[in-house]
């Protein structure tokens, strides 16, 4: 956290230097402004990397907790089955004891006439039956004891797994709190940097037209990235496409990670401050929906047939059937649906040609980290 704060302060300082350096037209000041802009970009990249690492740590804790929850449920089923087997084995053992020891006079020396009868052969046969009952009772007792041992082992496994689940949930809660703190601080610090840059926003009147145009282009690019990071504005487009969420944001490659109910992750979770603007990645037509899983959601189908899914929104700025352009605000970041216990984030899916979802992380990285 200390390193992260150091880079935030450095970023704000570098942006201030960059804004102040562009106010002069003398060559040494222009060169110094260029150097400060380069340093500001490097500091911004470090801040983004720190946010992504925090997001990855939270995702690992989240996935671990989900896996342990599934394992606990499976172990609980084993305990229930073992207890049932133990009860059944014990019932069989008790039934054989009742048959064998219903009366205390069933010994071979005190067999009643109803058992012995008038025929010696019949008496011996019944004695053999009693001995068989005795042997079977002993075998049933062994099976019952083994079933009880299995119950004890299963219950011990269940205690170990549930303890692990509690630890994993606690770790996930701590990671979520840490990530929320980092995102909030990033929003405040970079916002301060934006205000400082705005105060020092003098435009250079270059002595030579070519130099003026070159410096203006560099300054425009730097301000665009700084304003996007501070106020959630759209990042610069890449090949006509726009990053779906404003900056600062944090995400990592979690394709296929474990999720509740035995599901696997089919998108990328992009963490940012609550209410951060969300943008149409490309031009097309939108459809809105709302359900218990994805919460408030937007489905964007582009003119090329690609489909993008935005989930867990706090609000939408479009309606079903509306056409949008790349970079247009379509909603705001949130944690609706089943994301109530996580930091605000955009669950973003990519379906090329409208087909099955593929890992959107490479596209998100290209659009949001260029």
Q: How far apart are CA 107 and CA 127, in angstroms?
A: 9
Bridge partner residues of 277 (DSSP): 332
Residues 263 and 219 placed together within one structural domain of the fold: no
Instruction: Report residue 335's pLDDT band, with 50, 70 and 90 as the boundaries.
Output: very high
pLDDT digits (tens, 9 = 90+) for 201-232: 554 455 667 776 666 555 545 545 554 544 56
Residues 345 and 360 placed together within one structural domain of the fold: yes
309: containing domain? 237-370
> Could you tell me the CATH number of the domain that includes residue 370?
2.70.70.10
Task: Compare 338 and 133 and report the one with higher pLDDT.
Answer: 338
Residues 210 and 255 placed together within one structural domain of the fold: no
- 126: in domain: no
- 289: in domain: yes
Residues 187 and 268 placed together within one structural domain of the fold: no
What is the domain count for the chain? 2
Residue 60: other Cβ atoms inside 10 A: 16
- Which stretches does DSSP call E strand in 230-306? 268-271, 277-279, 284-291, 295-302
Mean pLDDT in residue range 69-75:
74
Q: In the β-sheet with 277-279, what is the strand arrangement from edge to edge?
A: 277-279, 329-332, 315-316
Residues 241 and 225 placed together within one structural domain of the fold: no
pLDDT score, position 108 = 44
- 152: in domain: no
Task: Compare 351 and 88 and report the one with higher pLDDT.
Answer: 351
Residues 192 and 335 placed together within one structural domain of the fold: no
Q: Considering 181, 216, 231, which residue would you say is the last residue of a domain? A: 231
Residue 248, preceding peptide bond in cis (omega within 30° of 0):
yes
Q: Considering 193, 216, 231, which residue would you say is the last residue of a domain? A: 231
- 202: in domain: yes
- 127: in domain: no
Residues 197 and 277 placed together within one structural domain of the fold: no
Helix (H, G, I), strand (E, B) or coil at 77: helix
Residues 278 and 189 placed together within one structural domain of the fold: no
pLDDT over threshold 60, residue 154: yes
pLDDT digits (tens, 9 = 90+) for 94-132: 666 666 556 544 444 444 444 444 555 555 555 565 666
pLDDT score, position 110 = 41
Residues 269 and 314 placed together within one structural domain of the fold: yes
Tokens of 252: 């990592």
pLDDT-above-70 percentage for the chain: 57
Strands 315-316 and 307-313: unpaired
Q: How far apart are CA 149 and CA 158, in angstroms?
A: 14
Tokens 């659009």 belong to residue: 367
pLDDT score, position 227 = 47
pLDDT digits (tens, 9 = 90+) for 264-322: 999 999 999 999 999 999 999 999 999 999 999 999 999 999 999 999 999 999 999 99
- 344: in domain: yes
Q: What are phi and psi of 124, to 5 degrees?
A: -60, -40
pLDDT score, position 163 = 73
Residues 170 and 315 placed together within one structural domain of the fold: no
Tokens of 102: 């219903």
Residues 354 and 272 placed together within one structural domain of the fold: yes
- 361: in domain: yes
Q: Considering 199, 231, 263, which residue would you say is the last residue of a domain? A: 231
Helix (H, G, I), strand (E, B) or coil at 294: coil
- 118: in domain: no
Residues 309 and 196 placed together within one structural domain of the fold: no
């Amino acid at each position: 956290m200390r390193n992260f704060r150091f880079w935030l302060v450095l970023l704000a300082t570098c942006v201030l230097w960059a804004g102040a350096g562009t106010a002069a037209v003398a060559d040494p000041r222009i060169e110094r402004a260029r150097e400060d802009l380069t340093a500001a970009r490097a500091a911004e990249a470090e801040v983004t990397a720190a946010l992504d690492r925090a997001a990855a740590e939270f995702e690992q804790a989240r996935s671990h907790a989900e896996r342990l929850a599934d394992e606990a449920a499976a172990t609980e089923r084993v305990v229930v089955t073992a207890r049932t087997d133990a009860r059944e084995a014990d019932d069989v053992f008790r039934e054989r004891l009742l048959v064998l020891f219903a009366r205390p006079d069933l010994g071979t020396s005190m067999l009643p006439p109803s058992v012995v009868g008038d025929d010696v052969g019949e008496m011996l046969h019944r004695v053999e039956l009693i001995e068989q009952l005795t042997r079977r009772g002993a075998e049933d007792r062994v099976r019952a004891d083994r079933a009880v041992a299995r119950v004890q082992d299963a219950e011990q496994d269940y205690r170990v797994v549930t303890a692990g689940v509690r630890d994993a949930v606690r770790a996930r809660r701590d990671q979520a709190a840490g990530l929320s703190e980092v995102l909030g601080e990033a929003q405040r610090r970079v916002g301060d940097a934006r205000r400082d840059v705005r105060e020092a926003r003098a435009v250079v009147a270059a002595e030579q037209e070519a130099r003026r145009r070159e410096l203006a282009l560099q300054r425009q690019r730097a301000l665009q990235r700084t304003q996007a990071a501070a106020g959630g504005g759209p990042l610069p487009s890449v090949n006509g496409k726009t990053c779906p969420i404003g900056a600062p944001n944090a995400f990592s490659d979690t394709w296929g990670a474990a999720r509740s109910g035995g599901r696997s992750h089919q998108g990328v979770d992009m963490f940012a401050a609550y209410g951060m603007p969300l943008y149409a990645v490309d031009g097309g037509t939108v459809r809105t929906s709302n359900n218990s899983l994805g919460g408030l959601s937007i489905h964007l189908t582009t003119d090329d047939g690609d489909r993008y899914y935005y989930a867990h929104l706090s609000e939408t700025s479009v309606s079903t059937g509306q056409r949008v352009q790349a970079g247009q605000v379509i909603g705001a970041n949130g944690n609706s649906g089943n994301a109530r216990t996580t930091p605000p984030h955009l669950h973003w899916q990519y379906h090329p040609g409208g087909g099955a979802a593929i890992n959107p992380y490479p596209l998100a990285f290209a659009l949001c980290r260029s």
